[in-house]
A and B are shown apart, each in its own frame.
Chain A
Amino acid sequence: MNTIDYVGERLWIGHIGNGFVVLSFVSSLLACILFYISAKNKNHLNFARVAFNLHSISVLGIAGTLFFMLFNHFFEYQYVWQHSNTDMDMKFILSCFWEGQEGSFLLWTFWNVVLGLILKKQLRDGLWEVPVMTIFSLVQVFLASMLLGIYLFDFKIGSNPFLLLRQHAEFSNLPFIQNADYLAKLNGRGLNPLLMNYWMTIHPPTLFLGFASTLIPFSFSIAALWNKQYTMWQVVALPWTYFGILILGVGILMGGAWAYEALSFGGFWAWDPVENSSLVPWLVLVAAGHTMIINKNKGGSLFTTHFLAIGSFLLVLYSTFLTRSGVLGNASVHAFTDLGMTGQLVIYVLTFVLITVALLINNKLFKITYLILSFLILVFGIVFGYKKVLLMIWILSSVIITAACYYLYFPKEKEEEELFSREFWMFLGALILILSSLIIIYFTSLPVINKLFNTDYAPPKVPVYNVWMVPFSIITMLLIACAQFLKYKKTNSKQFIIRISYSFLIAFIFGLACTIPLYFMSNFSSSSAYDKWNLISYASLFISSLFAVLSNSDYWLIILKGKVMKSGAAIAHIGFALILLGALISTSKKIVLSKNTAQRKVSGLGADFDDKKSILLTQGDTLPMGPHLVTYTGKKREGINVYFNVNYLKINKNGKPEFDFTLVPHVQDNPRMGKAPEPATKHYLNRDIYTHVTYADLNIDTITSNKNVFATAKNYIGHIGDTIYSSNAIIIIDSLKTNINKSEYEKNDSLLEVTAVLRCLDINSKVFYAYPKFIIQRNVVIPKEAIVDQLGLKLVFWKINPDEGTIEVTMSEKLSNNRDFIVMEAYVFPFINILWLGCFIMAVGITIAIIERTRLIKLQSSKV
């Protein structure tokens, strides 16, 4: 093989980058080992810290190198070539950084390092530094290996962001490799235009910080199991857990906002696997946060707390596997492509499950049995196969052994919980969250279940999720409404019921006043049992979330006398209740404005098939749509986007239409993903009008030039009385008139003239006549065309078939007759602002709670 001296390649930076990659892996491994042994021998602690710092520096080094390469367009590197180009706006360089898998793993690693450094400082020389940092470093070992990109035998470990383009497996046999000067002529492929959106600059880092922060409660919990210090850890981990709840929650909602603004999902939440797989860890983390509070205030719920704190992180790992391995296949619109790391991801998830279960088992005999069993299963699997069956046996035995250990050996409560105690209701809430998580993760995992059991279940649709989740939301809302008024240990039930009944009565009366017209007025009695169930559950959720808002406001303003710093929990709960209320109203009362008037009915197929939700707008025509009149006035192209201008008119007091506003939905002619519609939304305080174009011609040229040219003629054969359809009129062959005047005929050398009387009716039934003539002179046919200017039609009568009694007419239409049109969907989302307001209030509430908790910890530690 002869080597080519490529011109201009900057190989040095790849070496630097790879140096950092290897260093970050080795140093995290070193840090993990050193922290581990410093549990017994404190002499190694300083070395361990240095190793972790070295790891941090090398992670920053990888990120810095990648940024430098992206910023300077080093297209000889595959990652840079794939995710950026010279034409793009540099403000999206961050999005380039995390568009690919390698970059997003790097982002995750980066946040882990940031959190690890803060934690290392916070815990310095304390009880928790060594075990927590050991776990932290262990996770970093796994994450750092995701960037290695080396082969161990035939097994690929990681995917390297510093791979040269010409070394990439898919491109290494392309002709450009032969060209020593290829780099001078190469431009990058560029960022996916769909991601050129400000949400895409802030949503991924927020979400990944959220994912990273689930590592903190996980590490503490594992560290506690390892040290057999089952209770002390919550004090430090609690604010961090709520930090995770805050950041992950905000990150998820940002994703929803992005989908609502920039994607044509038709809403803010679509129960997409990618959305679900970040929602479930959040729900579990919320449950963990609540059981930690129970444990801190009263003891108890210890096993549950450990289980949830660990579960949240394991679910983050599992969702990484779901979205990155390609296992979802057809189920998701935005899963990542498979980079050949499926095996590695499975191994990571299973390894952490193994470590967790082994530590949860606090009986030596059981622990050793479990480890030996796992090892045997692994060996058996490698040697004999049967991987699926063995995997299931292993999972089952892990669950059984853990449960057995919990019952036999885990420290437990002695006293019975009171029914009217805060901890009991909080625990109930945590259980509801766990149950919802189980159901969502089960639905989302159907593609995995298909793979394991060779079944062929399809992923469920949005209504399935909604039907299951609404009852759980109702219970959650009732618990949120009541729990604050209960005291820990024991509450006077009479006082409690009296207190809570104020809010409940107001919520119930006001709720009924709202929900009766909303859900029960129009044909409730005639709807199906399924619909009735839905309507009743919507109304119940409406009342219960209102109840939650009112009772928490009551608690905040009356009981806590409006003291903000004490009321973080109440405020956060008001926010959460508002989120559900906003989601409920805007989704259940979503109105389809763009109902089309097509007559065809598809009966017998069910309600799903009958929703006529698109409207055809022809340029220039004004059509009624809901309370508005809409006019599509034209389109323009800017870069890869085609903008469709739609004017909305309203009827004013005098009954005349009057311009109201303009919405400009656009379609992105995305070179990478095809045509992607992006919505346009008119925001009002109490509703949003949301529109997107589902079908349109993106060509600009065809409409601007040649307006007056006639298109190709089409031939029509018909009897008298038959009709011809043009795009804008109906043409009836009314009659034929001959004028054979004998003297004329002879004088003009055998002239025969037949006139067709064509009656043309336009859309408004206005009549125009056209008189094309069929003339034979000296045995030659000379047709005389007729043009109807008002309709842009040219008609030529050119043949008579005397045997059939038919005539033949050709018709051509002016190009301007084929007016441009768009097919559009338009919805009203009522009161969606309640949802966004709720997000904001919840974020504020959690932030207040974190600040207050941190203050209390400092206060306590300074007292000691």
Chain B
Amino acid sequence: MKKFHILGILVIGVAIGVILVSLKNTSTYADFNEAMKSPDKEFHVVGKLDKQATQIYDPKINPDEFLFSMIDNKGSVKRVVLHKSKPQDFEKSEQIVLIGKMQGDDFHANDILMKCPSKYSDGKPQIN
């Protein structure tokens, strides 16, 4: 065996190791029910803003806390505590991805991704 071959095998081994280790810790997409089942694990939950529910953002009390409700893709509604300032254009979002954990009845998110209306739908040719 040459040194290069040993190294090559080592590289493949490390790569597989990293993949296996990281797969264990990689957060997965889930719905609120799955997140309820393992409250210590971080999940990505996809859903829509519940426009009926009240939203609370009072930066005077805490600029890094925003409360709202989200309907996940399975239809269940949960109160969300976002530990960040309220995102701009929040109401316009079409789809929300929350990253966080379930605690009690609330979903605590440390980050949020929003999908706003796509580039193509908001601009249609218009003549005045």
Interface residue ranges, A against B (CB under 8 Å): 81-82, 165, 170-171, 174, 176, 179, 182, 185-186, 189, 192, 330, 333, 337, 413, 416-417, 419, 424, 427-428, 431, 434-435, 438-439, 442-443, 446, 455-458, 460-461, 464, 468, 596, 598, 600, 602, 604-606, 608-616, 667, 671-677, 694-695, 821, 823, 825
Nearest A-chain residue to B62, judged by Cβ: A598
Give 20 pairs: A residue, B residue, CB < 8 Å, sorted on A: A81-B125, A182-B125, A330-B97, A330-B115, A413-B2, A416-B3, A427-B7, A435-B14, A457-B27, A457-B28, A458-B28, A604-B103, A606-B101, A609-B110, A614-B63, A616-B59, A673-B116, A694-B88, A695-B86, A821-B59
Q: Mark B95-128, 1 if CB is under 8 A from A, else 0.
A: 1010111010000101101011011101111111
Give the chain A neighbours of B119 by CB distance below 8 A.
192, 337, 672-673
Interface residue ranges, B against A (CB under 8 Å): 2-4, 7-8, 11, 14-15, 18-19, 22-23, 25-30, 43-44, 46, 57, 59-65, 81, 83-89, 92, 95, 97, 99-101, 103, 108, 110-111, 113, 115-116, 118-120, 122-128
With A435-B15, A598-B65, A616-B59 already in contact, the answer to whether A176 and B127 are too (CB < 8 A) is yes
Given contacts A461-B27, A673-B116, A695-B59, 12 further A-B contacts (CB under 8 A): A174-B124, A176-B127, A333-B113, A439-B19, A455-B28, A457-B23, A457-B26, A457-B27, A614-B85, A615-B63, A674-B88, A674-B89
8 Å CB contact of B120 from A186, A192, A337, A610: A337
Nearest B-chain residue to A676, judged by Cβ: B88
Contact assessment for A460 and B101 in the assembled complex, using a CB-CB cutoff below 8 Å:
no
Give the chain B neighbours of A176 by CB distance below 8 A.
125-127
Contact assessment for B26 and A171 in the assembled complex, using a CB-CB cutoff below 8 Å:
no
* CB of A335 to closest CB in B, whole Å: 11
Contact assessment for B125 and A460 in the assembled complex, using a CB-CB cutoff below 8 Å:
no
Choose among B4, B19, B92, B122 the residue with the greatest number of A CB atoms under 10 Å from its CB. Answer: B4
Contact assessment for A417 and B4 in the assembled complex, using a CB-CB cutoff below 8 Å:
yes
8 Å CB contact of B62 from A434, A446, A596, A611: A596
Give the chain B neighbours of A456 by CB distance below 8 A.
28-30
Nearest A-chain residue to B83, judged by Cβ: A609
Q: What is the bound-complex CA distance between A723 and B53, given in angstroms? A: 28
Q: What is the bound-complex CA distance between A176 and B86, given in angstroms? A: 39
With A179-B127, A821-B59, A823-B59 already in contact, the answer to whether A598 and B64 are too (CB < 8 A) is yes
* CB of A673 to closest CB in B, whole Å: 7
* CB of A525 to closest CB in B, whole Å: 25
* CB of B44 to closest CB in A, whole Å: 4
Contact assessment for A458 and B26 in the assembled complex, using a CB-CB cutoff below 8 Å:
yes
With A416-B3, A596-B64, A608-B110 already in contact, the answer to whether A165 and B125 are too (CB < 8 A) is yes
Choose among A170, A179, A677 the residue with the greatest number of B CB atoms under 10 Å from its CB. Answer: A170
Give the chain B neighbours of A442 by CB distance below 8 A.
15, 18-19
Give the chain A neighbours of B46 by CB distance below 8 A.
330
Give the chain A neighbours of B126 by CB distance below 8 A.
176, 186
Nearest B-chain residue to A183, judged by Cβ: B127
Nearest A-chain residue to B8, judged by Cβ: A431
* CB of B86 to closest CB in A, whole Å: 5
Contact assessment for B11 and A185 in the assembled complex, using a CB-CB cutoff below 8 Å:
no
With A417-B2, A616-B63 already in contact, the answer to whether A672 and B122 are too (CB < 8 A) is yes
Choose among A176, A330, A435, A468 the residue with the greatest number of B CB atoms under 10 Å from its CB. Answer: A330
Give the chain A neighbours of B123 by CB distance below 8 A.
82, 189, 672
Contact assessment for B108 and A602 in the assembled complex, using a CB-CB cutoff below 8 Å:
yes
Give the chain B neighbours of A424 by CB distance below 8 A.
3
Q: What is the bound-complex CA distance between A473 and B125, given in angstroms? A: 51
Nearest A-chain residue to B118, judged by Cβ: A337
With A189-B123, A431-B7 already in contact, the answer to whether A458 and B63 are too (CB < 8 A) is no
Q: What is the bound-complex CA distance between A389 and B87, given in angstroms? A: 41
* CB of A805 to closest CB in B, whole Å: 31
Chain B interface mostly helix, strand, loop or mixed?
Answer: mixed
Q: What is the bound-complex CA distance between A639 and B87, given in angstroms? A: 22
Give the chain A neighbours of B125 by CB distance below 8 A.
81, 165, 171, 174, 176, 182, 186, 189
8 Å CB contact of A613 from B43, B64, B101: B64
Give the chain B neighbours of A413 by CB distance below 8 A.
2
Give the chain A neighbours of B92 by CB distance below 8 A.
674
Give the chain A neighbours of B57 by CB distance below 8 A.
695
Nearest B-chain residue to A300, judged by Cβ: B4
Give the chain B neighbours of A825 by CB distance below 8 A.
85
* CB of A75 to closest CB in B, whole Å: 8
Q: What is the bound-complex CA distance between A600 and B66, given in angstroms? A: 13
* CB of A744 to closest CB in B, whole Å: 46
8 Å CB contact of B63 from A182, A416, A823: A823
8 Å CB contact of A695 from B60, B88, B124: B88
Nearest A-chain residue to B57, judged by Cβ: A695
Give the chain B neighbours of A82 by CB distance below 8 A.
123
Give the chain A neighbours of B43 by CB distance below 8 A.
458
Give the chain A neighbours of B18 by CB distance below 8 A.
439, 442, 468
Nearest A-chain residue to B26, judged by Cβ: A457
Nearest A-chain residue to B28, judged by Cβ: A456
Nearest A-chain residue to B16, judged by Cβ: A438
Contact assessment for A460 and B15 in the assembled complex, using a CB-CB cutoff below 8 Å:
no
Nearest B-chain residue to A606, judged by Cβ: B101
Give the chain B neighbours of A446 by CB distance below 8 A.
26
Give the chain B neighbours of A337 by CB distance below 8 A.
118-120
Give the chain B neighbours of A672 by CB distance below 8 A.
119, 122-123
Nearest B-chain residue to A330, judged by Cβ: B97
With A596-B64, A605-B101 already in contact, the answer to whether A675 and B88 are too (CB < 8 A) is yes
Contact assessment for B88 and A185 in the assembled complex, using a CB-CB cutoff below 8 Å:
no
Nearest A-chain residue to B5, judged by Cβ: A407
Q: What is the bound-complex CA distance between A82 and B119, given in angstroms? A: 10
Q: What is the bound-complex CA distance between A862 and B89, given in angstroms? A: 66
Q: What is the bound-complex CA distance between A434 and B108, given in angstroms? A: 38
Give the chain B neighbours of A612 by CB distance below 8 A.
62, 64
Contact assessment for A823 and B85 in the assembled complex, using a CB-CB cutoff below 8 Å:
yes
Contact assessment for A330 and B113 in the assembled complex, using a CB-CB cutoff below 8 Å:
yes
Q: What is the bound-complex CA distance between A667 and B89, given in angstroms? A: 12
* CB of A470 to closest CB in B, whole Å: 13
Q: What is the bound-complex CA distance between A606 and B128, given in angstroms? A: 55
* CB of A614 to closest CB in B, whole Å: 4
Give the chain B neighbours of A165 by CB distance below 8 A.
125
Give the chain B neighbours of A179 by CB distance below 8 A.
127
8 Å CB contact of A443 from B7, B22, B61: B22
* CB of A543 to closest CB in B, whole Å: 23
Give the chain B neighbours of A609 by CB distance below 8 A.
83, 100, 108, 110
Contact assessment for A416 and B2 in the assembled complex, using a CB-CB cutoff below 8 Å:
yes
Contact assessment for A438 and B15 in the assembled complex, using a CB-CB cutoff below 8 Å:
yes
* CB of B75 to closest CB in A, whole Å: 18
8 Å CB contact of B85 from A610, A674, A695: A695
Give the chain A neighbours of B27 by CB distance below 8 A.
457-458, 460-461
* CB of B28 to closest CB in A, whole Å: 5
Contact assessment for A600 and B65 in the assembled complex, using a CB-CB cutoff below 8 Å:
yes
Nearest A-chain residue to B103, judged by Cβ: A605
Give the chain B neighbours of A823 by CB distance below 8 A.
59, 63, 85
With A185-B127, A439-B15, A694-B85 already in contact, the answer to whether A600 and B2 are too (CB < 8 A) is no
* CB of A77 to closest CB in B, whole Å: 12
* CB of A740 to closest CB in B, whole Å: 42
Give the chain B neighbours of A615 by CB distance below 8 A.
63
Q: What is the bound-complex CA distance between A667 and B116, given in angstroms? A: 17
